[in-house]
Structure 1
């Protein structure tokens, strides 16, 4: 048995009016296959180019270890020179990923390689974020703290994506006071005996190739696995839905600080309690669902 996932629709290209009408307004995901072929980045951006242009920069790295109470919010697990990291990506599988790296801050010339597309949303131009990963490395299932509209541009290799909208949260074993599901769920090959409510979740899937764009609507859960080494860039626009915008403010100002405070006060007991509650609350919800 597998997760109940539908293929994300695909178009070769799209204009602003159609994007707003068919995907943004109803908050549906879409893959756009050939929108950026006129960008210099389309032909230039690969691992070798990133090594050449950013090789001496020390970058933050993350892996798939469980959350520890001593870890700060989004605190990196290791650091490495970009040149050494790219060599590692190309030589062997590694769980180390670059996550939410604002490369343009340190390498302003990258800005010359792309333009901010006009999809009818005001993109936040100060924070284009880059993400890198080695073969079979993956993110935990999570949603972004600001519940933004995200345009995810993939470069080099192939990346697997599984997504769920917020309505599916009650089936996903969400960790309270957090943005992730249980970290021991393998969304690539879930154990339904251990996590039975996942059978009820209805989601979306796709595989991204070089130059393709994935639009992720506000607050969508997403799990990403690098089938081959590669990297992506995300551009984001603030949540337009008032409920999502208010949740983003809550997450940024209250939830994140409360969670950090409880880690300091209760240590690992806080993490363990949250993991237990993810199961208890998900199974309690199941008794309320007809």
Structure 2
């Protein structure tokens, strides 16, 4: 296992090397204590090497088994995804040929059934064993669902498993996963470099600025002049290789650079099991009231037969559904806000008058 205390400075940013661990020497209890609970990233070197997908999913195999599958992609400009242009639809086989030829394109997937070619192909479920991650996660269910169950997205995290293919030199802009999930980034082929930073409200503006910068290069004086808070910033750095899995804790900002043509399978796990934490997710950027308009717009692009019950309901009653969802989420927020206030009032009374003066009924 590498020493995560090893660090160096790169243009006024201090980086620690991400630990590389083996499941042979790091069990579930140790993983939760050292990495998951304190929110520290790590690279797991023997978690997916036994998966059939790791040995079978080369470019030729994907073309032969599911080459006719519909996929959507975006063009890239200087390594960055060009979301200003609409997504282009083609087959997986054509996409693989074009990306092998060096065309600057990459998959685009908003975790929506119209775009999710992974869920519709048996090899993407039969050749992977996502339950592997359950052996590393703490127990607990939320409304009957375990941490890896993505069936209720976008009502409830986690974001469904996704496949990512990117060309050499492509950058994945730095970002937070707004569904608040823990992320397991499984690298099947192609080396990539990663930079990670813990969530800190004091540096969020700086992180938004860094999202469009190539962090493999030192920051220059222009960057530091615009954002002085970048000086002294501390994070983690990793080099991810085929067969390795990068664990990204919930709320951690992360940035990727694909050094080679790369394929990764990404699995997310819900980080919470409480209604209080759910109310925080629901009010965030990927909460249902903010996600439903995008989903409704995507459903409108396909026939009513393809939409299914939920898609047709959302298209037909978009505004009432969004309004009703917003009311429910607001009520949850106010309930937990008020319960917090009640506890503070009871605590204040107990300190002022003593436990004997504050009846059990009040609590």
TM tier, shorter chain?
A: 0.7 to 0.9
* 1:142–1:255 CA distance, 2 compared to 1 (3 A): farther
Match in the other structure for 1:107: 121
1:214 aligns with 2:246: yes
Match in the other structure for 1:30: 42
Residue from 260, 269, 275 that aligns with 1:237? 269
Give structure 1 stretches of 5+ with no counterpart: 176-180, 261-290
TM-score of the superposition, structure 1-length normalised? 0.75
Match in the other structure for 1:96: 105
Residue from 25, 28, 42 that aligns with 1:16? 28
CA offset at residue 10 of structure 1? 0.5
Distance (Å, rounded) in 1 between the aligned partners of 2:292 and 2:119: 29
Give structure 2 stretches of 5+ with no counterpart: 1-9, 110-114, 139-146, 152-159, 295-363
Would the aligned equivalents of 1:102 and 1:130 in 2 still touch at CA under 8 Å? no
Residue from 1, 4, 7 that aligns with 2:14? 4
Give the CA RMSD over aligned residues.
2.8
Greater relative contact order: 1 or 2 (C-alpha under 8 angstroms, separation 6 or more)? Answer: 1
* 1:257–1:104 CA distance, 2 compared to 1 (3 A): closer
TM-score of the superposition, structure 2-length normalised? 0.61
CA offset at residue 153 of structure 1? 0.6
- Equivalent residue runs for 1:73-152 within 5 Å: 77-92=87-102, 94-100=103-109, 102-115=116-129, 116-117=131-132, 118-121=135-138, 122-126=147-151, 127-152=160-185
* 1:194–1:51 CA distance, 2 compared to 1 (3 A): farther
Q: Which has the larger radius of gyration?
A: 2
Distance (Å, rounded) in 2 between the aligned partners of 1:105 and 1:87: 22
* 1:257–1:215 CA distance, 2 compared to 1 (3 A): closer
For these two proteins, the number of residue pairs brought into alignment is: 248
Would the aligned equivalents of 1:163 and 1:222 in 2 still touch at CA under 8 Å? yes
